[in-house]
Amino acid sequence: MNDGDRERLLLQGNEAIVHGAIAAGCRFFAGYPITPASEIAELFSSLLPAVGGTFIQMEDEIASMGAIVGASLAGTKSMTATSGPGFSLMQENLGFACCTEVPCVVVNVMRGGPSTGLPTSPAQGDVQMARWGTHGDHPVIVLSVSTVSDSFSITVKAFNLSEKYRVPVILLSDEVVAHTRECVILPTSDEVKVIDRIKPSVPPDWYEPYEGDIRGVPPMPSFGAGYRHHVTGLIHDKHGYPTQKSEEIEAFHIRMTQKITRGFPEIQMSREFFLDDAEVAVIAYGSVARSALRAVQDARKHGVKAGLLQLITLFPFPRGNVSPVLSACRAVLVPEMNMGQISREVHRVNQYDCRIVKYNRVDGQIITPTEIFKSLIKL
């Protein structure tokens, strides 16, 4: 169906991610099938060639991550998608992408773990892994989707942030969002804001590949475009060559960190529901935020002034959005399908008298609105 010039589609969350990626300019996907993310690869295999893009099924997730790094270096917006076990295999090459500042998007449709775990069940156990899975201090952005519409729009944001800050962006979904079907009205291409990486403005002989601009982000040419430079996972100087000079090593780490901290106002995203007069609140993300919104609505019908802060950005942790909720409410409930990975972050930034209560499920079942409601009215 069409809504004017817009297309109305009944999509799974996984399918909406593909449409969002293509709208953002993604033209390369490399991946390996894995439940519950396989539909992403399946749809890319048919849609990418139709827009002049390339789909490759790789031999494993290690190769998948390497392939999208290479494609991005060659100038193509790139993505891979997996679930927990595959995400584990991607960590070394993800670290390489962080060190070399290669923009790319990695989707992790979370399922129960550890190890093979619960392949067809929802979970949120990969949250801290998304931030700290690869070794060493490193910049990364982690976003979370809660609805099918989110799966489109936040995928676009993931690509835009990746390109703007030259950093891998991890997009976390979960089995419930991935396989929920909802009607989505897709925007036209003119309505989608697309950001591309900045190209060098100087001749090739003048180009310093890791000399950051005022934001700390170096312009990035495509391989084969006449700008020859060295790419290495070793800590490198502004020319791209390995260094053992302490001042250059320190400058590298500071710049890598500051380019993200300077972007905090844009990177840290959330949504607020009924928080204007809230005395108690829920902080949630992913499919649990859907249950939380219904629970908050039910609580208000019972006279409880409840609100919801839905986290879109998980890392860098959006303390600027969370702190006002903690300062205004007497208690906050943090429901998660893990043992408490974001609640730790909420505790970390709590400098107020706000009481923080966890609600966790790790049995492969979703957290229902009723469960959240019952916990909420006890706060």
Tell me the pLDDT band of 4, cut-offs 50, 70 and 90: low
pLDDT, average across residues 297-305? 98
> What integer pLDDT is reported at residue 232 of this predicted model?
97
> What integer pLDDT is reported at residue 2 of this predicted model?
53
Residue found under tokens 């309505």: 191
- pLDDT of 311-339, one tens digit each? 999 999 999 999 999 999 999 999 999 99
Q: What is the DSSP letter of 236?
A: B
> What integer pLDDT is reported at residue 5 of this predicted model?
75
- pLDDT of 9-27, one tens digit each? 999 999 999 999 999 999 9
> For all residues of the chain together, what is the average pLDDT?
97
Asked if domains 2-191 and 269-376 share a fold, the reply is yes
Q: What is the domain partition of the chain in residue ranges?
A: 2-191, 269-376
- pLDDT of 42-94, one tens digit each? 999 999 999 999 999 999 999 999 999 999 999 999 999 999 999 999 999 99
Q: Residue 3 above 70 pLDDT?
A: no
Q: Residue 1 above 70 pLDDT?
A: no
> Which residue, among 175, 88, 79, 102, has the nearest Cα to 132 in the 3D structure?
88
Q: Residue 7 above 60 pLDDT?
A: yes
pTM of the predicted model as reported, rounded to 2 decimal places: 0.97
pLDDT, average across residues 280-302? 98
Rounded to whole angstroms, how far apart are CA atoms 313 and 291? 19
Rounded to whole angstroms, how far apart are CA atoms 8 and 204? 46
Per CATH, domain 2-191 is 3.40.50.720: no
Could you tell me if 219 and 198 are in contact, meaning their C-beta atoms sit under 8 angstroms apart? Answer: yes
**Residue 109 neighbours by CB under 8 Å, 6+ apart:** 14, 36, 37, 40, 81, 82, 83, 173, 174, 175, 178
> What integer pLDDT is reported at residue 127 of this predicted model?
98
> What integer pLDDT is reported at residue 6 of this predicted model?
86
- pLDDT of 201-211, one tens digit each? 999 999 999 99
- pLDDT of 304-317, one tens digit each? 999 999 999 999 99
Per CATH, domain 269-376 is 3.40.50.1370: no
**Residue 246 neighbours by CB under 8 Å, 6+ apart:** none
Beta bridge partners of 10: 183
Rounded to whole angstroms, how far apart are CA atoms 101 and 95? 10
pLDDT, average across residues 132-145? 97
DSSP labels for 108-156? EEEEE-STT-EEEEE--TTHHHHHHSSSSS---EEEE--SHHHHHHHHH
- pLDDT of 148-181, one tens digit each? 999 999 999 999 999 999 999 999 999 999 999 9
> What integer pLDDT is reported at residue 228 of this predicted model?
86
% the chain with pLDDT above 70: 99
% the chain with pLDDT above 90: 97
Q: Residue 106 above 80 pLDDT?
A: yes
Report helix, strand or coil for 367: coil
